[in-house]
Structure 1
C-alpha cells in the first residue's frame, strides 16, 4: 500500500462494486459530508442518498451514486455497505432523467393516493445518479 493511500471497499447486497486503494474519500453521511484520509480515527457512520467521491491511487477523482447504508473506517480500511451503488460513468443518464421527471410529476400532484415520501426518495436517488454522472441537473 502506498504511503498516502488506504483501502476502500464498497459493497451492495448484489456485489462488491469497488475494492482498491484511494487517497481520500468524501461520503454523504446523515450528519453531513464525511471526509476520510489515511490514518483516520475509527468511525461508523450512517449514509444517506447521495454521491460518494474519492480520489484513486493515481489522483483521478471518481464518483459513485449511493442510496444509503453505512460506512466503517478502521485500520486504514474504509468499508461502505450500501443499499445500492453505481459508478458515475455507468449511469444511464436518460433513464435517471426520466425517473426524476416521474418523481417531480408525482410530487406536484394533489392526490391523496400519492405516496409523497416514496416520490421524494425516488427524486433524491435520481438526482444523486445524475450528479454522479456529472450530467446537468434541472
Structure 2
C-alpha cells in the first residue's frame, strides 16, 4: 500500500549499535523526537532530529505494522529514505515482558530516568502489538 497520491514508498532502515534491526519499504513511519511525535510519508521534507526513548511504528509498503522500542538517537529523512539510529532498538517480538518489567524496576531503584524511559518504551510496544 503506497502512501496516498504519491505512488512512492519510503526506504527505511532501523539501526541499532550492533545490527540493522529492520530494513525495507514503508508507506509511513511514526516516531517520537525531541520536538514531539513525527509522522513521515513519501516526499517528506529533509529532516534531522533527535530521537527520544519511545515507540517507532512502521507501516510497510504491504500494509503490515512493524513496532520497535528505541532509546535515544537520531532520525533523518532525505529523498524518501528514513534512517532511525539508536543504540537500543528492539522489535516487539524480541522483547520479553518480564525482562522489561525487571529492567524498569532496576532503573527506578537506581534513579536512572533514561533507563526507565527505555524500559517503559519496551512495555508500550508489547501493549499494542
TM-score (norm 1): 0.83
1:15 aligns with 2:8: no
How big is the shift at 1:101? Answer: 2.3
Structure 2 residues without counterparts, runs of 5 or longer: none
Partner of 1:39, secondary structure, is coil
How many aligned residue pairs are there? 123
- SS of the aligned residue for 2:28 comes to strand
How far apart, CA to CA, are the structure 1 residues paired with 2:75 and 2:67? Answer: 16
Instruction: State the distance in 2 between where 1:78 and 1:102 align.
Output: 33
Q: 2:80 matched to 1:120?
A: no
User: How far off its partner does 1:102 sit?
Assistant: 2.6
After superposition, residues 84-123 of structure 1 pair within 5 angstroms as 84-104=88-108, 106=109, 116=111, 119-123=112-116
Q: Is the 8 A contact 1:90 1:133 kept in 2?
A: no
Secondary structure at the counterpart of residue 103 of structure 1: helix
- Equivalent in 32, 41, 46 of residue 28 of structure 1: 32
* TM-score (norm: length of structure 2): 0.88
Question: What's the counterpart of residue 76 of structure 1?
Answer: 80
Correspondence for 2:61 among 57, 61, 73: 57
Of 61-70 and 94-103, deviating more is 94-103
Two-structure CA RMSD over aligned residues (Å): 1.5
Which structure 1 segments of 5+ residues have no match?
107-113
The answer to whether residue 124 in structure 2 is matched with residue 131 in structure 1 is: yes
SS class of match (2:119): helix
1:59 partner SS: coil
Question: What secondary structure does 1:130 align onto?
Answer: helix
Q: State which structure, 1 or 2, has the greater radius of gyration over its C-alpha atoms.
A: 1
Mapped to 1, the partners of 2:125 and 2:32 lie a distance apart of 12
